[in-house]
Amino acid sequence: MAELLLELFSEEIPARMQAEGAQALGRLVAQALAPLAPENIRCFDAPRRIALVATVAPAVAASRSTERGPRASAPEAALAGFLRKHGASREQLREEGGFWMLERETPGIDAAALIAEALPGLLRRFPWPKSMRWGRGSNFAWVRPLRRILCLLDGRVVPVTLREGDDDGHGLASADLTEGHRFLAPGAFAVRSAAEWQEKLAERFVLVERAERRRRIALGLHAAAAAHGLTLVEDDGLLDEVAGLVEWPVPLLGAIDPSFMDLPPEVMQVSMRVNQRYFALRDATGQPAPFFAFAANVEATDGGRTIVAGNERVLRARFADARHFWDHDRMQRLAGRVAALDAITFHADLGSQGERVRRLVTLSAHIAPLVGAAAEEAGRAALLAKADLTTGMVGEFPELQGVMGRYYALHDGEKPAVADAVRDHYAPRGAADSVPTAPVAVAVALADRLIQLAGFFAIGQKPSGSGDPYALRRAALGVVRIVRDNRLRLNLRPLIAATGLGDASTAEEVLAFLAERLRIQLRAEGARHDVLAAVLATGLDDDLCRLLARTDAVTAFLASEDGANLLTASRRAANILRIEERRDGPHDGPVDPALLAEPDESALAAALGVAEGVVELALAKEDFAAAMAGLAALRVPLDGFFDRVTVNIAASELRRNRLRLLARVRAAMNRTADFSCIEG
């Protein structure tokens, strides 16, 4: 096997595109060079390059193949089409067994030749999310201007050129050259292998392994913070981004002007993160520290003092802007901003943000007593929930919606429960977020999501495939998590209807969508999501907690010996009924006691009568474990029935009566779940 090293060196690639670009390179090269059986593909990405290393076969061996063509008696046009398809001539054909046969010899090809042939087209069609053209004389596009192509096969340059017809491809052709750090080690240098490439780049202040850059940034920032008795505010997303911004990370700490420390910590953190890619710090008590951390891309001769001073100046200007928004926003009460929401469109078919808020006020007050909240407080929180969308701070930092609303509400003297609900009704924003637990926040959070779901379902804007532009899956999962985590006993169907959006069919669609999100969540948790599907098949219960309790009871039942055996027997009954009902069904009439000729069918009928009563009473009390215990009593008589009673006998009256008995068994089982939906 031969070692292939391919590096595409360019101007700075946006951090968010680097890793995906490297993975795409690996995938496309593997496809294009499939005849060479590439193995051990390793992809690299850094601010100014994506690269891969792989082992490939040194050549593709020559091969011979035989292709059967039309019959010898086929029309001339059919034969001509076959030859045209394969680019062959009539002289290459031979007749065998009444068919024309085409023998083709494929010559072998050297790996370098195949690579040189495949790469230009691959690079011209590379799937960057966004590409650009530069200079003149070429239509070649890349994410940023491409400067070098390094392509080596066992240390020798593979001649790859981007020239295509009249397009000179910016004159780019492969070589054995790459470049180190733009400032610390400028200029090109040659390499002969992947190991030398990685080693020499490290000597020239470039770490090509993203994981290594990330590790150094994290360790360095934590160490720098610890040296001052501080802790770093963990931010994995920012850490990933910074790893794509620096080739040679140098961790540094800067000081925050004390005059800005009275700004809300969320404002400071978001401003540092969004504008400057700085990390926030906390002191020993967990309070915001007057310092920030960042990763420089150079090792300065003065230990970084000049770099730190420059970043401190920039941060003072950023915080001065934040100070302006903070002071200016508080000059107007949050309640006074609500009217301005009428001028902000929520959706063309759903009206303004003001209309959305009016629906939210009504539904929040309706839900409040059901979750232990005061209707007046829930209505007030709903009224103020979206008002901070009109503030300068949220306009600058949309991530702070809700957070700033709480601060402004507290400044205005609103009740803490109301202010907290303004912030917390957005939770959970993601899978890692906790759900609101305070009753007022719960009421507003549920109302907000139900209005969102009902509204977009009513206008036909439902998620499809991977498309979900209005984040309805996230909204539905939020409803599911709020209900589950708070163990709320709510009937969601009337609450969806109370949004005033859509009709009864809309409520059913939303409810089914919520149930599907619950099923997917259970699957992600490793729970028996097929059991939930079985429970749902008996009817769409709009109380999620009751639905889960039934699911848990059925799951526990199936894990028992009685449950497993009864499942087998019920499937047997269902299979018999399915076959016989195609013939002359349905067989769902009453069982005639006078036609119970065998002791085992009489025993089953008697046990069934008892079980039906037990199940009915238990379900009414929502004692699902007792319902399953009632069904378990059917195991022995049902086994006896199948062991000693023949269903399909010649006597038609007895046959129909026994089928009706089995249909009654199926109906009793289906009172808790449709056991035909159980997997395994």
Domain boundaries, the chain: 2-59+111-203, 68-106, 210-329, 335-526, 556-677
> Residue 570: its pLDDT value, please?
85
**Would you state the pLDDT for residue 48?**
98
Q: How far apart are CA 452 and CA 7, in angstroms?
A: 47
Phi-psi region of 491 (alpha: psi -120 to 50; beta: other; left: phi over 0): beta
pLDDT, position 652: 87
What is the mean predicted confidence (pLDDT) over 217-238? 96
Could you identify the residue written with the tokens 């925050």?
256
DSSP for 468-531, written as a single string: -TT-HHHHHHHHHHHHHHHT----HHHHHHTT--S-HHHHHHHHHHHHHHHHHHHHHTTS-HHH
Question: Any bridge partners for residue 500, and if so which?
Answer: none
Q: Are strands 345-347 and 49-56 parallel, antiparallel or unpaired?
A: unpaired
Give residue 369's pLDDT: 98
Q: Sorting pLDDT into bands at 50, 70 and 90, what band is 37?
A: very high
Whether omega before 428 lies within 30 degrees of 0, making that bond cis, reads yes
Q: Is the pLDDT of residue 469 over 90?
A: yes
Q: How many Cβ atoms are within 10 Å of 310's Cβ, its own excluded?
A: 11
> In angstroms, rounded to a whole number, what is the distance separating the alpha carbons of residues 408 and 387?
10
> What does the CA dihedral 654, 660, 662, 668 come to, rounded to 10 degrees?
-150
Positive or negative, the Cα torsion across 196, 199, 203, 205? positive
Binning pLDDT at 50, 70 and 90, where does residue 680 land?
Answer: low
Side chain identity at residue 129, one-letter code: P
The residue written with tokens 């007593």 in the block is: 369
Mean per-residue pLDDT, 626-630:
93
Query: What angle, 0 to 180 degrees and rounded to 10, lies between the N-to-C axes of helices 472-486 and 439-458?
Result: 150
CATH number for the region 2-59+111-203 comes to 3.30.70
What's residue 574's pLDDT?
Answer: 86
Which region among 18-32, 203-217, 463-477 has the lowest average model confidence (pLDDT)?
463-477
Where residue 63 falls among pLDDT bands split at 50, 70, 90? confident
List, for residues 338-357, the tens digit of each pLDDT value. Answer: 999 999 999 999 999 999 99
Cα distances from 252 to residues 31, 220, 281, 291, 294, in angstroms, run 43, 8, 12, 10, 6
pLDDT digits over 157-216, tens only?
999 999 988 888 999 999 999 999 999 999 999 999 999 999 999 999 999 999 999 999
Return the CATH superfamily for domain 556-677. Answer: Isoleucyl-tRNA Synthetase; Domain 1 (1.10.730.10)
> CB–CB of 208/49 below 8 Å?
yes
Buried/exposed 503-523: b ≥16 CB within 10 Å, e otherwise: eeebbbbbbebbbbbbbbbbe
Report the range out of 70-84, 217-231, 626-640 with the highest average pLDDT.
217-231
Fold of 335-526: Hypothetical protein af1432 (1.10.3210)
Q: What is the mean pLDDT of residues 210-238?
A: 96
What is the average per-residue pLDDT within 620-638?
93
Question: Which residues lie across from 51 on neighbouring strands?
Answer: 7, 44
Average pLDDT over residues 72-78: 87
Cα 26–Cα 32–Cα 38 angle in degrees, nearest 5: 60
Residues 249 and 535: their CA atoms lie apart, in Å, by 55
Q: Which structure tokens are listed for 557?
A: 């039942």
pTM of the model: 0.84
Query: pLDDT band for position 238 (50/70/90)?
Result: very high
Give ∠ CA 442-444-450 in degrees, rounded to 5. Answer: 100
Proportion of the chain above pLDDT 70, given as a percent = 100
